[in-house]
Amino acid sequence: MIKNVKKQRSMALYEAILQLKDVDECRRFFDDLCTPGELRSMEQRFDVATYLLQDQVYLEILEKTGASSATISRVRRNILNNDEGGMMREIILRMGLAVPQDGADES
């Protein structure tokens, strides 16, 4: 019988990320940690989120990123309708890559 036990998340990775000193260290760390395909996927999702927060339409985003409409929809759902986190949205706004729309809070 397989037990359905949820494993507690390890915080070591997140703590390690906080030790990175600059963008170059961050890039090198993620190069060590992820496959090239995983990195491209994460970079693409971040770009999609940025374009969505800039109010660009799906076809423009698809042309610029090559992301599928399913990926664009998933990212949109995660960044625009996520009441529990929305950290990517907050970071994009903090970086000045987009501005809050419709009176949304700027954290």
Domain positions in the chain = 20-94
pLDDT value of residue 3: 65
pLDDT exceeds 80 at position 46? yes
Alpha-carbon span 20 to 14, nearest angstrom: 10
Q: Are 62 and 69 in contact (CB under 8 A)?
A: yes
Per-residue pLDDT tens over the stretch 56-106: 999 999 999 999 999 999 999 888 666 555 788 889 999 999 987 655 554
pLDDT value of residue 83: 59
Q: What is the mean pLDDT of residues 36-64?
A: 96
pLDDT exceeds 80 at position 2? no
Quick check: pTM over 0.85? no
Alpha-carbon span 56 to 48, nearest angstrom: 9
Q: Are 44 and 71 in contact (CB under 8 A)?
A: yes
- Amino acid letter at 59? L
For the domain made up of 20-94, give the CATH fold: Trp Operon Repressor; Chain A (1.10.1270)
pLDDT exceeds 90 at position 49? yes
